[in-house]
Amino acid sequence: MNVRQHLLAGQVIPAHPLALTAARTLDERAQRALTRYYMAAGAGGIAVGVHTTQFAIRRVGLYHPVLQLAIETANATLEQTPRPFVRIAGVIGETAQAVSEAGIANALGYDAALLSLGGLDALDERALLTHCRNVADVMPLIGFYLQPAVGGRVLSYRFWRDLAELPQLIAVKIAPFDRYRTMDVVRAIVAAGRDDVALYTGNDDAIVADLTTPFPVRRHGRADTTRIVGGLLGQWAVWTRRAVELLSRIKALGDSPLAPSLLTEGAELTDANGAIFDSLHRFAGCIPGIHEVLRRQGLLRGIWTLDSRETLSPRQTDELDRVIQSYPWLTDDAFVAEHRDAWLTP
C-alpha cells in the first residue's frame, strides 16, 4: 500500500476509543470488537493512542499493549480480506517520549505518527519544528492542530508553512475548531507547493462544511481551490458506517452544486456532535459521550475511563437522547446489531 496515495484519496479514519472493564483494566474482547467494527464499516484506517484512546494510557502502561492489540486485530482481518488500510499511532510528549513512542509504533508496523503538540507550551515554534523533525526521522508524520479546549495550542501560519517543508509530512489533521485557523493550515500547505500532503478534517463541529468546501488558495501565483479530502475524527468513532456513506456521497458530488439537504445534514451532525462531545461543558464529557453511544449499541459494557472523575456531564444523557431521537438516520444501530456478536467473538 502506498500510504500517501491512500490518504490523498480521502478516507474515513476513526479515532479509536479505549474499552475498559469496571475495574478499569483493558477489556480486550471489546477492544478487538471496536477495531473489527471500524473495518467492517468501511473505514480506510484507524488512529490509536490519540485523545479518544485517552492520553493516560501512557501513565498506566497501556500504550504498547493497546497499539499491539489494534494492529494485530486489523492485520488478522486484512489477511482474510486484503485492502488498503492505514494504521496511525498517536504520539505525544516531549521529544524523548515522542521519539520513543514513534519507535514503538514503527516496530509494531504502524504506517504513520499523528503528532500532538499539546503540553509543549514551553517550546517556541522554532523548537516545535525541531521536535517534529526528530519524530519524522523515525516514521512518516501527520501534523495535528489540536483545539486548545482539549490540550492543544494556537499555532501560526508560519509554523504550518515551515512544517510543510518536511519531506516526511504526509498529511495534516486540522482540528482547531476555528475557521480562521483552519484556513491558516490549508493556505500554508498549498503555499509550500505540497500537493502530496493530504488535508484531513478533525473539526468535529464542521465535518460536512470542511469536506464540501473548495477552499480558496493561491497556487503558482494564480487563484485556485483545494480540498480537505477526508476525516480523522472522534465523531467517526461512532456511527462509522454512516460516516463512510457520507464521505462516499460527498466524493461522488465532485464540483457539482451542493443540495441544501446535505448542508442540513451537516448541521444535524454538528448538533449530534455537540451532545456527544459535551460542548455545553467545554468538552468535559467528550470521551464518556463517545463511550455512551457505543455502550448503547452493545459494543462497550460501560463508559469507564482511566480517570474515575471523567464521566458524563449533567444533562448530557438527555442531550444524547434528544439528538438520537431527532436524527435516527445519522446512526448505524441496525448495522451494529447485525454484526456485533461476531465482532465480540474472542
pLDDT at 220: 86
Q: Which of 96, 42, 13 is nearest to 244 (CA)?
A: 42
pLDDT at 149: 77
Taking the C-alpha atoms of residue 96 and residue 207, their distance in angstroms, rounded to an integer, is 34
> Residue 118: pLDDT band by 50, 70, 90 thresholds?
confident
Task: Tell me the per-residue pLDDT of 25-56, one tens digit each, with 9 for 90 and over.
Answer: 999 999 999 999 999 999 999 999 999 999 99
Percentage of the chain lying above the pLDDT 90 cut: 93
Pairing of strands 222-226, 215-219: antiparallel
Tell me what the mean pLDDT of segment 189-209 comes to. 97
Taking the C-alpha atoms of residue 324 and residue 330, their distance in angstroms, rounded to an integer, is 8
pLDDT at 147: 86
Contact 136, 164 (CB under 8 A): no
pLDDT at 256: 87
Of the candidate ranges 70-74, 150-154, 256-260, 318-322, the one whose mean pLDDT is the lowest: 150-154
> Residue 335: pLDDT band by 50, 70, 90 thresholds?
very high
Locate 124 and state its grid cell: 517556541
pLDDT at 153: 87
Of the candidate ranges 71-80, 181-190, 215-224, 299-308, the one whose mean pLDDT is the lowest: 215-224
pLDDT at 255: 84
> Residue 119: pLDDT band by 50, 70, 90 thresholds?
confident
Task: Tell me the per-residue pLDDT of 145-170, one tens digit each, with 9 for 90 and over.
Answer: 988 877 788 999 999 999 999 999 99
What residue has cell string 472522534? 234
Locate 157 and state its grid cell: 501560519
Locate 155 and state its grid cell: 499555532
Domains, the chain, with CATH or none:
3-252 (3.20.20.70)
Task: Tell me the per-residue pLDDT of 260-293, one tens digit each, with 9 for 90 and over.
Answer: 999 999 999 999 999 999 999 999 999 999 999 9
Taking the C-alpha atoms of residue 46 and residue 192, their distance in angstroms, rounded to an integer, is 28
pLDDT at 238: 98
Tell me what the mean pLDDT of segment 226-230 comes to. 98
Taking the C-alpha atoms of residue 272 and residue 328, their distance in angstroms, rounded to an integer, is 10
SS (H, E, C) the chain: CCHHHHHHCCCEEEECCCCECCCCCECHHHHHHHHHHHHHCCCCEEEECCHHHCHHHCCCCCHHHHHHHHHHHHHHHHHHCCCCCEEEEEECCCHHHHHHHHHHHHHHCCCEEEECCCCCCCCCHHHHHHHHHHHHCCCCEEEEEECHHHCCCCCCHHHHHHHCCCCCEEEEEEECCCHHHHHHHHHHHHHCCCCCCEEEECCCCCHHHHHHCCEEEEECCEEEEECCCEEEECHHHCCHHHHHHHHHHHHHHCCCCCCHHHHHHHHHHHHHHHHHHCHHHCCCCHHHHHHHHHHHCCCCCCCCCCCCCCCCCCCHHHHHHHHHHHCHHHCCHHHHHHHHHHHCCC
122, with CB counted inside 10 A (0-12, 13-18, 19+), is exposed
- Dihedral of CA atoms 183, 187, 188, 189 in degrees, nearest 10, equals 110
197, with CB counted inside 10 A (0-12, 13-18, 19+), is buried
What residue has cell string 455537540? 274
pLDDT at 221: 87
What is the distance in angstroms between the CA of the first residue and the CA of the last residue of the chain?
28
pLDDT at 289: 98
